[in-house]
Amino acid sequence: KTYPNVSLELGYVPLDKTLAAAEGVVTTQRDFGNRSDRKNARTRYTIQRMTLDGFRTEVEKRMGFKFEPTRPF
pLDDT in the model for residue 30: 95
Using an 8 Å Cβ cutoff, are 72 and 17 in contact? Answer: no
DSSP secondary structure code for residue 36 in this structure: S
Tell me the CA distances in angstroms from 21 to 59, 64, 70, one per residue in order: 7, 9, 14
Report the distance separating Cα 50 and Cα 52, nearest Å. Answer: 7
Q: Does the pLDDT of residue 57 top 80, yes or no?
A: yes
pLDDT at residue 64, rounded to an integer = 97
pLDDT of residue 39: 81
Q: What is the C-alpha separation between 40 and 24, in angstroms, rounded?
A: 20
5 pLDDT band, cuts 50/70/90, is confident
What is the pLDDT, as a whole number, of residue 19?
98
In tens, the pLDDT along 12-52 reads 999 999 999 999 999 999 999 988 888 888 999 999 999 99
